[in-house]
Amino acid sequence: MNFLIMKTTTDHEIISKQKALNKMKNNALALLGVAVLLFIVAIYFKIPMLQAFSEAAMVGGIADWFAVVALFRHPLGIPIWHTAIIPLKKNEIGENLGSFVSEEFLNREKLEIKLEEFNFATKASEWLSEKENAVKIANLVAVNIIPGILKTINDEDIKRFIQIQFKEKLEAINFGDWVALSLEPLQKGQLKEQMLTNIIDVLCNELIDNKDLIRKKVKESTPILTFGLADKSISEGVFNGLYDFLNETKNPESDIRAKIDQYVYDFLDKVKNSEEMRGKINNVILGFAGKKEVQDYINGIWDEIKLSISDDLDKGDQSSIKNNISNLIQSFGKGIKEDQAMLHKINNFIKNDVLSILINNKKVIGDLIASTVKSWDGKEVSEKLELEIGKDLQYIRINGTLVGGLIGLVIYAFESVYHHFVF
């Protein structure tokens, strides 16, 4: 859409310039036509002064028409010597232009003076600090650059890259060491005891809340011949046994608690000191990460990111991405503007490094300009230049007609005075 708008705008400008050029050509031609008409009138009515004016005006207008046309093409299509100068001499023009730019513009002394006068860093920071300018850049990035990148990149390549990075990062992590380090505090102090007590409390509460479920499961498991007579006593026995066991476990001095403590201690010690155990932990986690469900989730990350970016950019002025870019640019400009050391560094970088690159490659730049001009089509170059400067050149024709006529009058007056006094 933006390309079409840009193309339409360019075409409109070309049409406007062509109309202006044609208008000036017609004006110059009309003035020359007036001179021809005056010449006919002067001959018919035998008016010497008017004849002298119109003759000189016609000569001046035609001569300047020839001179202007000869720049761009052969007058009347006749290949007269030294005409169609621009299309025939474009290679020499390109070489001279390249040499002129490299020698006159890419001159260290001149550029250093101009750069110091211009103070690029300050002007750039001031320009970026303006909200309007920051918004323009943000619009350019949000409307053209980001969507272009999203359309250009291959989704499968991005997903593959994410998968590889995810796998490499996981493999680089020793989860066994992490688990051992995180569980180490459980071997010391009251933390382990408190955790065990809390777990047992939860189990006791769950046991009480599920008493009816225990009775139901017991009933489903007892023989039909008992007619349910033993169900209640069995379920009560199971419930009371489990409850007593858990209550006994709550006691830090009990044998059961000691066995649990020892089991936990042995497990933590293996995690901490056994390479085999840590390897098993790593394998379990990596195996989990390799499951299809996890892989599908990772693949979906890029789709979600891309969709979120597109949805946000569609919000226009309400886009968070665009507004954040704008604020970032504006803050960046203000930050540089207030940092004299940074301003000095940027100016020095441009003055020294960038300038050195330009100076060291000025011949390359000159050759590039020359080769670019040489690659242009001669006729096309001539037409484009005429479109740009042809309108102003038509004033040469107009001035030539008027000035020629005035000179004709001067010559006629001089001739009349001469004949009056001499003869």
What is the rounded distance in angstroms from the CA atom of residue 223 to the CA atom of residue 53? 138
* Model pLDDT, residue 400: 92
What is the rounded distance in angstroms from the CA atom of residue 130 to the CA atom of residue 318? 19
Contact 291, 303 (CB under 8 A): no
Of residues 228 and 133, which shows the higher confidence score?
133
Residue 89 has pLDDT above 60, yes or no: yes
What is the rounded distance in angstroms from the CA atom of residue 260 to the CA atom of residue 254? 10
Write down the pTM of the prediction: 0.47
What is the rounded distance in angstroms from the CA atom of residue 74 to the CA atom of residue 264? 102
What is the rounded distance in angstroms from the CA atom of residue 65 to the CA atom of residue 404? 13
Percentage, residues of the chain above pLDDT 70? 89
* Model pLDDT, residue 97: 83
- Residues 336-385: pLDDT tens digits? 888 888 888 888 888 788 788 888 888 888 888 888 888 888 888 888 88
Question: What is the rounded end-to-end Cα distance, in angstroms, of the chain?
Answer: 80
Which amino acid, 414? F
What is the rounded distance in angstroms from the CA atom of residue 296 to the CA atom of residue 150? 21
